[in-house]
Amino acid sequence: MPLSSPMSDSAGTTRLTVDLNALCANWRLMRDFSGSARCGAAVKADAYGTGAAQAAPRLAREGCSDFFVADVVEAANLRPLLPNSRIYVLNGVFASSFAQTLAHDLIPVVNSVEQAAFWRENAGTRPYALHIDTGMNRLGMTPEQAVAHAQSSAHPPCLVMSHFACADEPGHPLNARQIDIFAGLRDCFPNIEASLANSAGIHLGPEAHHQLTRPGVALYGADPVSGVPNRMHPVVSAETHVLLIRHARAGEAVSYGAAHKCSRDSRIAVCGVGYADGFHRSASGAGVPLRSAVRQGGCGAINGVRVPVIGKITMDLTMFDVTDLPEAAVNPGDWIELLGPAISLEEAATAAGTISYEMLTSLGRRYARTYSG
């Protein structure tokens, strides 16, 4: 193969495919699991790294009408693509974001007594959502503040919501407590829609559903609940180019710090992905603290066969041990799977000491992206 052929100008050394049909299939699953509740979508952080400009309008066409983003900048970018949807801004409303909130017809999620006063004074009777903290100590009024708000405010919210701290552990006692506290507060807000469940929370059953659910990570293919088989379709596939194959002798070392010592004569695929692409350094095969806690480092896959990362992952380059594959099975210019049918988000995240959410939202800007469906 001529050396100029492996890389055309449209293809770097990493590529990523986002399957929008799989995204929609996952949304329909979450909608069906939500019972009689409407199913929204969390599309914050650029739709968990998958590309909100592609994902959100596709979900809207599928029937989703409620979108949750973190801040007003994300919301403003989405508004032209979602002209008829409700867009909720989870981080709240501030003087600095007020003009944008009105200009783009956004629904702020009011998180404190101060934000409620600010909205009443400046926005009058425009709609807002009210977040109540039922046990996480993150965003939202305390239950007592919410009761006082309900009694004193002439202008009720269009939605009351809360958020689970431990929904991914179905047996955690805090889930039942949050469900109870939220159910108790519902009575203070008669005839107002309520929303409690994220992806994992939807699986806690009908008491968690209320009128609107807010799945995020499951839409993008991640396993929402630990310990049960993942029913979501994979949405993201990531691959890296084999730049060259090198041979190292037994006893030689690989990568920075000489942390990997070859125990045998080895064939090594040097690939064009690194921690700058979100292929976390903590997934290195050796030489990082995590390897004393989680023995198995990161892996790639060639036609479904796993090939381990050896040595430290560097900024732009990673080495995979391909000694066990037939010599013809891997050549410069081939692609190695990093995420996809063989390697799940959860497997990759565990090797890096993190969670699927962080894997998705770290996918780097160098990936050549393709949207299918």
Ligand X SMILES: *Cc1c(COP(=O)(O)O)cnc(C)c1O
Nearest to 107 by CA among 120, 126, 121: 126
Judged by CB under 6 A, does residue 86 bind ligand X?
no
Q: How many residues bind ligand X (CB under 6 A)?
A: 13
Per the listing, tokens 């390897």 go with 291
Among 23, 37, 130, 217, binds ligand X (CB under 6 A): 217
Nearest residue (CB) to ligand X, 85 versus 198: 198
Judged by CB under 6 A, does residue 175 bind ligand X?
no
What mask, x for binding ligand X by CB under 6 A, covers residues 35 to 64?
A: -------x-x--------------------
Among 157, 216, 278, 287, binds ligand X (CB under 6 A): 216
Among 86, 163, 241, 280, binds ligand X (CB under 6 A): 163
Judged by CB under 6 A, does residue 90 bind ligand X?
yes
DSSP type of residue 9: T
Judged by CB under 6 A, does residue 240 bind ligand X?
no
Contact region for ligand X (CB under 6 A) — 20-28, 184-192, 215-223, 313-321? 215-223
Nearest residue (CB) to ligand X, 17 versus 26: 26
Cβ atoms within 10 A of the Cβ of 304, count?
10
Judged by CB under 6 A, does residue 215 bind ligand X?
yes
DSSP type of residue 198: -
What mask, x for binding ligand X by CB under 6 A, covers residues 65 to 84?
A: ---x----------------
Smallest gap from Cβ 141 to ligand X, in A, equals 14
DSSP per position, 166-189: STTSTT-HHHHHHHHHHHHHHTTS
| Gap between the Cα atoms of 257 and 211, Å rounded | 55
Residue 305 has phi, psi (to 5 degrees) of -95, 125
Nearest residue (CB) to ligand X, 77 versus 122: 77
| Gap between the Cα atoms of 359 and 350, Å rounded | 10
Smallest gap from Cβ 195 to ligand X, in A, equals 8
Helix/strand/coil for 314 = coil
- Residues between 182 and 201 that touch ligand X (CB under 6 A): 198-200
Strands 266-271 and 236-248 turn out to be antiparallel
Taking the alpha carbons at both ends of the chain, their separation in whole angstroms is 32
Burial of 312 (0-12, 13-18, 19+ CB in 10 A): buried
Instruction: Give the residue numbers marked as catalytic.
Output: 44, 256
Nearest residue (CB) to ligand X, 225 versus 310: 225
DSSP type of residue 12: -
Contact region for ligand X (CB under 6 A) — 21-29, 31-39, 210-218, 312-320? 210-218
Contact region for ligand X (CB under 6 A) — 15-23, 92-100, 213-221, 312-320? 213-221
Judged by CB under 6 A, does residue 214 bind ligand X?
yes
What mask, x for binding ligand X by CB under 6 A, covers residues 300 to 339?
A: ----------------------------------------
Smallest gap from Cβ 151 to ligand X, in A, equals 25
Residue 304 has phi, psi (to 5 degrees) of 85, -5
Q: Report whether 19 contacts 233 (CB < 8 A).
A: yes
- Residue 159, CA distances (Å) to 139, 142, 190, 214, 271 in order: 15, 16, 11, 12, 49
> Which residues of this protein are in contact with ligand X, per CB under 6 A?
42, 44, 68, 90, 163, 198-200, 214-218
